[in-house]
Structure formats: structure tokens, C-alpha cells
Amino acid sequence: KNCLILALDVTDRENALRIANEVSEYVDSIKVGYPLVLGEGLGIVKELAELAPVIADFKVADIPNTDRLICEQVFKAGADAVITHGFTGRDSLDSCVKVAEEYGRDVYVVTEMSHPGGVEFFRPVAETIAQMAADAGATGVVAPATRPERVRDIRKIIGNDLHIISPGVGAQGGSAADVINAGADWVIVGRSIYNSDSPADAAMKICNDMKC
Ligand code: BMP
């Protein structure tokens, strides 16, 4: 285990595959979201899945039936996991978890976002969402590397059964080592890797820094 997830927010296939290939030995999975899928189509998921498990970051946030339809498409496309929001409520999350169980895949739930505005609306509900993720049988939660103390709070709520994946390292100011020490299982890193002259070196440095 490397404790590192690549956030592959480039928008073209050629760069995506080049960077994914370069860093594949350092990352445990690749997070793909709207930028790349809107740029290149959902087919990119299958191509990347040959290099590493893909986490589909669609921040699913809809009624249960629409969530179900989205998750089915995501898993059929070859994604290993999906990221959903939690603020849409337990029934919506249950719907995603049910589809994930049918396909044998994972669900991660956003608790509090890593950017400065992430405290405005998430702060009062982050703990409730974390508890709901645990109750619903989600695989884990997404919690901010920019606020390791919040990762510590959320770890207390979810215990050790759920994973914490944590974005906000590097470009957003967070430290990989600090958030791993605070209880995260993986850091999610995008720009510090894919904008580097040597993505492999950048990924290796983050792994060394975490000593995980
Ligand atoms: P970067 O390392 O370039 O800041 O990228 C972080 C990635 O994690 C981006 O894909 C972003 O959309 C995602 N993310 C985040 O930064 N904060 C969150 O709270 C949730 C996210 O999914």
C-alpha cells in the first residue's frame, strides 16, 4: 500500500494515460472526475482501470432512483468505487450502497470539503454525514487534508472500519504526512503530481514523505 490516490484532473486522453502510466507504481488508485470524463467520455475509465483501480468522483447527489441509475453506469464502465455526497440524505446514500454491493464495489461519502468554502455549509453537518456513512455501510469517507484536526474528529466518529481518503495536499496547502498522522488512510493528490515536470518523482516524494 502506498497511501496515495492520483486525482487525474487533466482533460485529454493522451496526457491522462501518459501520467497514469508514469505514476502507476506509486499510486493505489486513480480518481477520475468530471474534467476528464466530460473531456474524453466515460470510456477512459476502462482504459485507466487497466493500470489501477478507478474511483469515479461524480459526487453523486440526487434522489435515490437517479443515484441508482448513475452508480449502475459508473460501475458498468469499470469503476471500482464511486464518490457520493451525503447531504441528500440516507435514502439516497442507501441507493448507492445497494448498487455498489450488487456490483461488489465501493462507496465513499464526502463529509466536509477541503477548500475554504468547505466549512460554510459542511461544518455543521460533517459529523452527522460521517455517522450516516458508517450506519449505511459505506466503504469510507472523503475528509479534508487541509484540516487534519477534522480528519481526527471524523476518525473518532467512524472508528476503524471505514476508510478515510483525503484531498487537499500540496496545491491546496495540506501536508500528506500530517493528514496520515491524523488518521487518513489515503491522500488524494492532483496538481502537485500531474502539473509536475516529473509526475513520477512528485508521487515518489509524497510517498516518502508519508512513510506509509
Ligand atoms: P488537487 O490536489 O489538484 O487540489 O486535487 C484534489 C482533488 O480532490 C480534485 O479532484 C478535487 O476535485 C478533489 N476534492 C477536493 O479537492 N476536496 C474535496 O473536499 C473533495 C474532492 O473530491
Q: What ipTM was reported for this prediction?
A: 0.99
Task: State the DSSP code for 102.
Answer: H
Which atom of ligand 1 sits closest to the CA of residue 192? 2
Taking only the tens place, the pLDDT of each residue in 51-104 is: 999 999 999 999 999 999 999 999 999 999 999 999 999 999 999 999 999 999
Which residues line ligand 1 at a C-beta cut-off of 6 Å? 7, 9, 33, 57, 110, 113-114, 118, 142, 144, 167-168, 170-172, 188-192
Counting residues of the chain whose pLDDT is more than 70, the rounded percentage is 100
Whole-structure pTM value: 0.98
Confidence grade of residue 13 (pLDDT, cut at 50, 70, 90): very high
Closest approach atom of ligand 1 to CA 33: 10
Band the pLDDT of 212: cuts 50, 70, 90: confident
Confidence band for 211, pLDDT divided at 50, 70 and 90? confident
Once rounded to an integer, what is the mean pLDDT over residues 113-118? 98
- Which of 95, 54, 37 minimizes the C-alpha distance to 71? 95
Task: Tell me the pLDDT tens digit for each residue of 16-59.
Answer: 999 999 999 999 999 999 999 999 999 999 999 999 999 999 99
Q: Tell me how far apart the terminal alpha carbons of the chain are, to the nearest angstrom.
A: 8
- Return the amino acid letter for 80: D
User: 210: Cβ–Cβ under 8 A, 6 or more apart, which residues?
Assistant: 3, 4, 176, 177, 180, 187
Three-state secondary structure string covering 43-96: HHHHHHHCCCCEEEEEEECCCHHHHHHHHHHHHHCCCCEEEECCCCCHHHHHHH
> Is residue 126 over pLDDT 90?
yes
**Tens of pLDDT along 138-197?**
999 999 999 999 999 999 999 999 999 999 999 999 999 999 999 999 999 999 999 999
Beta bridge partners of residue 29, listed in sequence order: 5
Pairing of strands 54-60, 81-84: parallel
Active-site residues, by number, are 59
| Set of cell numbers at residue 1 | 500500500
Name which of 167, 100, 179 is nearest 133 in CA terms: 100
Residue type, position 50, single letter: E
- Calculate how far, in angstroms, residue 7's C-alpha sits from the geometric centre of ligand 1: 7
Give the DSSP H or E segment for 33.
Answer: strand 29-33
Q: For a ligand 1 pocket test, name from 110, 114, 142 the mutation site with the most ligand atoms within 8 angstroms of its C-beta.
A: 114
Return the residue whose CA atom lies nearest to atom 21 of ligand 1.
167
